[in-house]
Amino acid sequence: MHSNERSPRLTFLFALALLVATDAQAQTTAAPPPAPAAAPEPAPAPDNTLTANIGLFSQYGFRSIAQTGGQPAVQGGFDWAHSSGFYAGTWASNISWLEDFGLYNRSSLEWDFYGGFKHTFPGSEDWSYDVGLYGYYYPGRKNPGVQNANTLEGYGAIAWKWISAKASYSFTNYFGAEPTGQKTDGTWYIDFTANYPFGDSGFTLLSHYGILDVRHDGSGNSKVGYDDWRIGLSYVVPDGLFKSLEIGAYYTGNTANEGFYTDLTGYNTAKDAGIVYVKKTF
């Protein structure tokens, strides 16, 4: 008699306990997972950056004037940049023009040194400016009565993304030129450049227009100043074994006077030229 009376109570208590356990299990299952750990902060950019580059060109053209008589050139340099915007570097290439024109009797190297400050304008990541000094040094032996070809220029540039305008001013004779017997310090070179990248394809359209205004310029066969232009295409390998390798080609021309720019071998260093190159930055 007692056993039959307790059975419904036990059944009720067991069912209630099972319901509570099931509800607790459901609440535990529905609880959200713990929040993932916060991603680590990216490492700060280094204050100092050092890069190097080396390239092989079918010929060396400076402001569209051949420096190697139409022959190949090996070029390379080092660049240091600080996070503040200051930078400096050096660059070198083989040349032949000083000997080809009979100016030096032993000279096959151009060795450049430069430094300046480059930064974006306040409140804008697209606009930037760049000011500095650039020195062209030609070790070798001059022939008697020849002016030194070493040249020092100051420059200032302003850029928006891939478009830039740059003005260079010569503090010395312009590469030793004195077409009228007067010094050519104070010569200007204005450079307009647009290198348009095609998205993330690695291809870039290269274009340039320059104006050389030589102080105390000559006339006729002695005229030094001219306008020049360049158009081409480059490709940078994005990854793999040849990552950062740049391959390019461009065509360049000018309005330079053939008489002044024809060397003693009869080669017109100002003639239009197609140039191909391969370059690697480390």
* CATH architecture, domain 52-281: Beta Barrel (2.40)
Query: Distance between CA atoms of 25 and 32, rounded to whole angstroms?
Result: 14
pLDDT digits (tens, 9 = 90+) for 192-216: 999 999 999 999 999 999 999 999 9
Q: Which residue has the higher pLDDT, 166 or 239?
A: 166
Query: Distance between CA atoms of 239 and 47, rounded to whole angstroms?
Result: 25
Average pLDDT (154-161) is 98
pLDDT-based confidence at 146, cuts 50/70/90? very high
pLDDT digits (tens, 9 = 90+) for 109-142: 999 999 999 999 998 899 999 999 999 999 999 9
**Per-residue pLDDT at 274:** 98
- The answer on pLDDT for 15 being more than 70 is no
Query: Distance between CA atoms of 91 and 125, rounded to whole angstroms?
Result: 28
- The answer on pLDDT for 35 being more than 50 is yes
**Per-residue pLDDT at 39:** 58
Q: Please, are residues 116 and 131 in contact by the beta-carbon 8 Å criterion? A: yes
Question: Domain extents for the chain?
Answer: 52-281
Max CA pair span of the chain: 138
**Per-residue pLDDT at 183:** 96
Average pLDDT (59-65) is 98
pLDDT-based confidence at 9, cuts 50/70/90? very low
Three-state helix/strand/coil letters over the chain: CHHHHHHHHHHHHHHHHHHHHHHHHHHHHHCCCCCCCCCCCCCCCCCEEEEEEEEEECCCEECCEECCCCCCEEEEEEEEEECCCEEEEEEEEECCHHHHCCCEEECCEEEEEEEEEEEECCCCCCEEEEEEEEEEECCCEECCCCCCCCEEEEEEEEEECCEEEEEEEECCCCCCCCCCCCCCCCCEEEEEEEEEECCCCCEEEEEEEEEEECCCCCCHHHCCCEEEEEEEEEEECCCCCCCCEEEEEEEEEECCCHHHHECCCCCECCCCEEEEEEEEEC
Q: How many CB atoms lie within 10 A of CB 168?
A: 19
pTM of the model: 0.83
Closest by CA position to 259, among listed 229, 198, 218: 218
Closest by CA position to 195, among listed 147, 162, 146: 162
pLDDT-based confidence at 31, cuts 50/70/90? low
Q: Please, are residues 190 and 153 in contact by the beta-carbon 8 Å criterion? A: no
- Quick one: what percent of the chain has pLDDT higher than 70? 85
- The answer on pLDDT for 270 being more than 80 is yes
**Per-residue pLDDT at 188:** 98
